[in-house]
Structure 1
Amino acid sequence: MKKGVLLVNLGSPDSPDPKDVKKYLGEFLMDERVIDVPLWARTLLVKGIILNTRPKASAAAYKKIWWENGSPLIVLSEQLQERVQESVDYPVALAMRYGSMTIKKGLQELVDKGVDDVFLIPLYPQFAMATTETILVLAEQIRQDHFPNITMNSLPAFYNNPDYIEVLSNSIARHLKDKDYEHLLFSYHGVPERHIRKSDITKSHCKIDGSCCATPSPAHEFCYRHQCLEVTRLVAEKLGFAPGTYSTSFQSRLGFDPWLQPYTDRTIERLGKEGIKNMAIVTPAFVSDCLETLEEIAMEGEEIFHEMGGKEFTTIPCLNADMPWVNLLSKWITNWATSKKETV
């Protein structure tokens, strides 16, 4: 069997034009694992309300961060794919869960090169319904419908993989070198609290009560909140951070249902009010910089901090196409190819 690799990230509109943004948001928000309510309610909310109000504002946000050569997320993901391809002996394709760079196109690219054994790598360190799960479910559906003769294995969530923690920690340390910061905020993308409970395979452990994420349980294999908190804990331990000099928050909430807390914008506001003058922020739910990191954090977050009296706001880039990250992905691919195990 000929082996190949498919890297999958979130996706992006084709352009920052409101029409393209509306098309992209429609596909994204109509995903039943993103807005997990009955179809009639999701349709009413998305097509009846959101798509009539949000695309223009989202397009303006995309225009702020759009690069001359395209969407930062796409450009950075393509750089990652190219560097990984240079480092391994197997065809490496790139796809997006949403948008025109579809998973079907990515699989077709590999099949056209003779690949019939695919290693699917969702580019998310933590498992979540709205990220990893939706990729795996769609990819398997596409495999069954269009490529029944290929086999497919996937990389599990790697949030606590020691090599990943080392790469992430080294990147943070490098960008904080010579920075006189008082507090480091780990900001993760938010999800509704109900997603955590729906992903609880024990159906009883996840109470989001301040203790369940620290109590060992099989539920942690699919608990996004636990996995985020664990990344913070492991990095802080690796870098020797003193208690009180770092914290965790969640960004990008939507609607009125309770989402994971504390919220990033309110945390930044609180830190400024408490007299923190120099802070840094890192976004370990993303491996590639995108709208949520470049606009929501680096622009809006910094503005909030300055309004609260803060002075220095340091945004740490994602791993993007840094060579230590490329080398780690290449190592995992080689391990898979030689062992055919689903663990790394």
Structure 2
Amino acid sequence: MKTIKKQGVLLANLGTPQAPTAVEVKRFLAEFLHDKRVVDMSRWLWCPLLHGIILPIRSPKVAKLYQSVWFDGGSPLMVFSQQQRNKLQSLLDIPVELGMTYGEPSLSSGLDKLLQQGVEEVTVLPLYPQYSSSTTAAVFDALAKAIKGIPTMPQLTFVRDYYSHPLYIQALASSVRASWEQNGQGDLLVCSYHGIPKRYADNGDVYPLHCEETTRLLAKELGLAEEKVLMTYQSQFGKEEWLQPYTDKTMESLPEKGIKKLDIICPAFSVDCLETLEEIAGENKALFIEAGGETFNYIPCLNADDAHIEMMKALVTN
């Protein structure tokens, strides 16, 4: 008779500072920006630059940005991620834990919790719909490091991406339709994705291909003509060229092209966070309005929406 092994699920996301303070932000950014998956410069060049200039200057500034979006229960990313974990747990009869690539709770601690419950088969779900070496692969790296200290490693199933999964596309489309019902439909739907250096894509990272397919499928699901949907990239860092068009530059240029009422969604983010609430709904809204735009409708991430959780269930049980 075949023995049935106990299964469990590990949800993985990027991570967040523990508090909106310069000290905690510096601690988080130091771990995040040390990862060669994120910044692949020579350590001889990068480490002095990071610790001598970038962290001392950026940490207080970023802390203030976090303060502008911080929830009573913690950072938006952590609050929504915990809600996702709790709702998915309620739909499954197996343990579900949460782990972050950087910061706490770590992927290692999430894995340990599963193993303490007797789990032998772990399904790892990185909450990045579109694969990138800078995000999804970093989860795999962290897991591999965590497993080094385990005498008997669990059997792992790794969900690499879900950028074209029908339930994901349908959930995105439903969120757009809900916004239209509440606010009316805009002149244009912008899909803003987190950027990566263009060099990464030139070297084979499939991320932009995944983003393009998500955008195409979403437009198809919504019945939108090609000219009614635009794809952009946000959150550039440093002086290197990143994937284009840039979201902020696009916001400045759209009003002069006759786009006065805008809908914008961030399909690469599974939960709302600093990059969506402050950067998009705050900074980029201001750019659009200052350039002559009239209405800016930010469509929230899927967060712990029921359709989103049902998609997660399908990903980890099929």
Fold agreement, TM-score > 0.5: yes
Deviations 1:64-105 (A, max 9, x none): 000111111000000000000000111000011111210110
Structure 1 consecutive aligned stretches of length 4 or more whose deviation exceeds 3 Å: none
- In the TM superposition, residue 231 of structure 1 has moved relative to its aligned partner by 0.6
Q: 2:267 aligns with which of 276, 284, 292?
A: 284
Tell me which residue corresponds to 1:69: 73
* Cα distance between partner residues in 2 of 1:77 and 1:39: 32
Calculate the TM-score normalised by the size of structure 1. Answer: 0.89
- In the TM superposition, residue 250 of structure 1 has moved relative to its aligned partner by 0.2
Distance 1:148 1:196, change over 3 A: farther
Tell me which residue corresponds to 1:210: none
Deviations 1:319-341 (A, max 9, x none): 10000111111122222xxxxxx
Q: 1:240 aligns with which of 223, 243, 262?
A: 223
Calculate the TM-score normalised by the size of structure 2. Answer: 0.96
- In the TM superposition, residue 147 of structure 1 has moved relative to its aligned partner by 5.3
- In the TM superposition, residue 126 of structure 1 has moved relative to its aligned partner by 0.5
- Is the contact between residue 184 and residue 247 of structure 1 (CA under 8 Å) also seen in structure 2? yes
Confirm or deny that 1:115 pairs with 2:119. yes
Structure 1 portions without partners, runs of 5+: 201-221, 336-344
Q: Which one is further off, 42-51 or 7-16?
A: 42-51
Q: Which one is further off, 52-61 or 36-45?
A: 36-45
- Is the contact between residue 275 and residue 309 of structure 1 (CA under 8 Å) also seen in structure 2? no
* Cα distance between partner residues in 1 of 2:83 and 2:179: 20
Confirm or deny that 1:35 pairs with 2:39. yes
Deviations 1:205-238 (A, max 9, x none): xxxxxxxxxxxxxxxxx50011001111111011
The one-letter amino acid of 2:124's match is: L
- Is the contact between residue 190 and residue 263 of structure 2 (CA under 8 Å) also seen in structure 1? yes
- Is the contact between residue 185 and residue 248 of structure 1 (CA under 8 Å) also seen in structure 2? yes
The one-letter amino acid of 1:334's match is: T
The one-letter amino acid of 1:268's match is: M
Q: 2:19 aligns with which of 15, 21, 25?
A: 15
* Cα distance between partner residues in 2 of 1:127 and 1:133: 8
Tell me which residue corresponds to 2:63: 59
- Is the contact between residue 16 and residue 59 of structure 1 (CA under 8 Å) also seen in structure 2? yes
- In the TM superposition, residue 243 of structure 1 has moved relative to its aligned partner by 2.5
The one-letter amino acid of 1:79's match is: Q
Tell me which residue corresponds to 1:322: 305
- Is the contact between residue 85 and residue 98 of structure 2 (CA under 8 Å) also seen in structure 1? yes
* Cα distance between partner residues in 2 of 1:322 and 1:57: 31
Deviations 1:175-208 (A, max 9, x none): 222514111110000000111133x2xxxxxxxx
* Cα distance between partner residues in 2 of 1:37 and 1:18: 25
The one-letter amino acid of 2:217's match is: L
Confirm or deny that 1:267 pairs with 2:250. yes
The one-letter amino acid of 1:235's match is: L
Number of equivalences = 313
Confirm or deny that 1:130 pairs with 2:134. yes
* Cα distance between partner residues in 2 of 1:225 and 1:67: 32
The one-letter amino acid of 1:234's match is: L
